[in-house]
């Protein structure tokens, strides 16, 4: 039989955002949220002043709202471990206590104070690299999932020193991208989204309410990407429409990991009637379209199994004429 498999894969994007006063608007929920395999989302946010929050503003409350809206019936926990003024080296002294006994994701947003010290000749970028590598290794050794955030620029429009600091920020962000690539971990690219839009700032570097909300979206999207790649549950929908119309019907199939999938159709008496799928599918959601026009009207059973033996399900399907 003819069939078509279209891989939708995960959908993640920078959410459309509005001013804090906007009503009824927020993030767009990724399709992967409905297939998340865990019962909770645990996020540790770790870093300096942007993580700590400034003048009563923070991104953690927005982040928790984003997850609560999209991950229905899941426990959401977003913890804050930020200390203003800290460098990567200083933050190392409290990292173990922040992550001890925890599970889930660790959002790491630190390094702007390193840039200030490097510009002043009081620290080297090699020290920042060593510190960040230690942070990442410590998080990985605790079986947690790290996300490194790039650093937003300082508002340097009227300050020559901050222009030099921003040159260091560019170097640090390049370093963070390198560390991410080498370790096979994830980047929340705040700098790419903020660019030089200083209307998102309340002072020389700290975000205002709109800026903090935007940070929450960048982190939210990055964690959604991880979930879509690593934490989906095996799901097979009931075929639709059911009964099949003119012999055609579709099945949604979500794969937690790449595997070979077999789909077989049996009569209600157990006779094999069709073997339309015997394919390797990658992680993510797939739409399987079936042509059942050659089958007589009646009730059938479709069984889906994986070659690894990890996944299997059986459902009924109706063919009408």
How far is residue 219's CA from residue 149's CA, in Å, rounded to a whole number? 8
What is the predicted pLDDT for the residue at 3?
35
> Does the structure show a pLDDT above 70 at 14?
no
CB atoms within 10 A of CB 184: 7
How far is residue 257's CA from residue 106's CA, in Å, rounded to a whole number? 23
What is the predicted pLDDT for the residue at 24?
41
28 or 245, which is more confident: 28
Structure confidence at residue 86 as a pLDDT band (50, 70, 90): very high
Contact, 51 vs 219, CB < 8 A?
A: no
How far is residue 251's CA from residue 237's CA, in Å, rounded to a whole number? 6
Most confident range (mean pLDDT) of 157-166, 247-256, 302-311 is: 157-166
Using a 10 angstrom Cβ sphere, with 0-12 exposed, 13-18 middle and 19 or more buried, the burial of residue 107 is buried
What is the predicted pLDDT for the residue at 26?
67
Q: What is the mean pLDDT of residues 19-37?
A: 70
Contacts of 27 (CB under 8 A, 6+ apart): 15, 66, 69, 70, 217, 220
What is the predicted pLDDT for the residue at 222?
97
pLDDT in tens, 38-80: 999 999 999 999 999 999 999 999 999 999 999 999 999 999 9
Using a 10 angstrom Cβ sphere, with 0-12 exposed, 13-18 middle and 19 or more buried, the burial of residue 236 is buried
Residue 235, both tokens = 């799901």
What is the predicted pLDDT for the residue at 246?
81
| Dihedral sign, Cα of residue 117, residue 139, residue 64, residue 195 | positive
Does domain 38-230 sit in CATH 3.30.70.20? Answer: no
Q: What is the mean pLDDT of residues 87-115?
A: 97
Domain parsing of the chain, residue ranges: 38-230, 235-319
Structure confidence at residue 21 as a pLDDT band (50, 70, 90): very low
Select from 113, 67, 297, 309 the least CA-distant residue to 206: 113
What is the predicted pLDDT for the residue at 284?
85
How far is residue 237's CA from residue 277's CA, in Å, rounded to a whole number? 16
pTM for the complete prediction?
Answer: 0.83
Residue 300, both tokens = 């059938």
What are residue 122's phi and psi, to 5 degrees?
Answer: -100, 5
> Does the structure show a pLDDT above 60 at 16?
no
What is the predicted pLDDT for the residue at 226?
96
What is the predicted pLDDT for the residue at 277?
86
Q: What is the mean pLDDT of residues 175-202?
A: 97
Q: What is the mean pLDDT of residues 135-146?
A: 97
- At the top level of CATH, the class of 235-319 is mainly beta
Residue 318, both tokens = 């109706």
How far is residue 23's CA from residue 176's CA, in Å, rounded to a whole number? 36
CA separation (Å) from 266 to 294, 299, 303?
A: 14, 9, 8
> Does the structure show a pLDDT above 60 at 9?
no
**What is the pLDDT of the chain when averaged over all its residues?**
90
Please report, to the nearest 10 degrees, the dihedral formed by the alpha carbons of residues 210, 67, 255, 265 taken in order: -120
Q: What is the mean pLDDT of residues 162-178?
A: 98
What is the predicted pLDDT for the residue at 25?
52
């Amino acid at each position: 039989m003819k069939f078509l498999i279209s891989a939708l894969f995960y959908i993640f994007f920078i959410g459309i955002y509005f001013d804090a006063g906007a009503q009824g608007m927020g993030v767009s929920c990724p399709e992967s949220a409905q297939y998340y395999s865990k019962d909770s989302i645990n996020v540790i946010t770790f870093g300096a002043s942007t993580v700590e929050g400034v003048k009563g503003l923070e991104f953690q409350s927005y982040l928790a709202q984003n997850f609560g809206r999209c991950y229905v019936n899941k426990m959401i926990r977003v913890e804050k471990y930020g200390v203003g003024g800290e460098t990567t080296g200083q933050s190392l002294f409290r990292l173990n206590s922040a992550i001890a006994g925890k599970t889930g994701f660790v959002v790491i947003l630190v390094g702007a104070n390193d840039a200030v010290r490097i510009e002043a000749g009081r620290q080297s970028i090699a020290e920042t690299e060593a510190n960040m590598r230690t942070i990442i290794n410590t998080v990985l050794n605790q079986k947690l999932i790290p996300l490194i955030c790039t650093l937003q620029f300082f508002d340097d429009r009227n300050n020559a020193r901050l222009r030099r600091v921003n040159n260091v920020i560019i170097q640090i962000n390049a370093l963070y991208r390198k560390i991410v690539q080498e370790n096979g971990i994830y980047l929340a690219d705040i700098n790419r989204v903020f660019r030089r839009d200083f209307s998102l700032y309340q002072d020389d570097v700290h975000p205002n309410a709109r800026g903090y909300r935007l940070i929450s979206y960048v982190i939210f999207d990055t964690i959604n990407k991880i979930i879509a790649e690593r934490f989906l549950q095996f799901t097979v929908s009931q075929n639709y429409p059911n009964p099949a119309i003119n012999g055609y019907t579709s099945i949604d199939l979500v794969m937690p990991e790449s595997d070979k999938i077999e789909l077989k159709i049996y009569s209600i008496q157990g006779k094999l009637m069709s073997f339309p799928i015997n394919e390797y599918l990658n992680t993510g959601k797939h739409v399987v379209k079936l042509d059942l026009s050659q089958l007589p009207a009646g009730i059938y059973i479709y069984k889906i199994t994986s070659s690894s033996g990890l996944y299997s399900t059986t459902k009924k399907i109706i063919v009408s004429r």
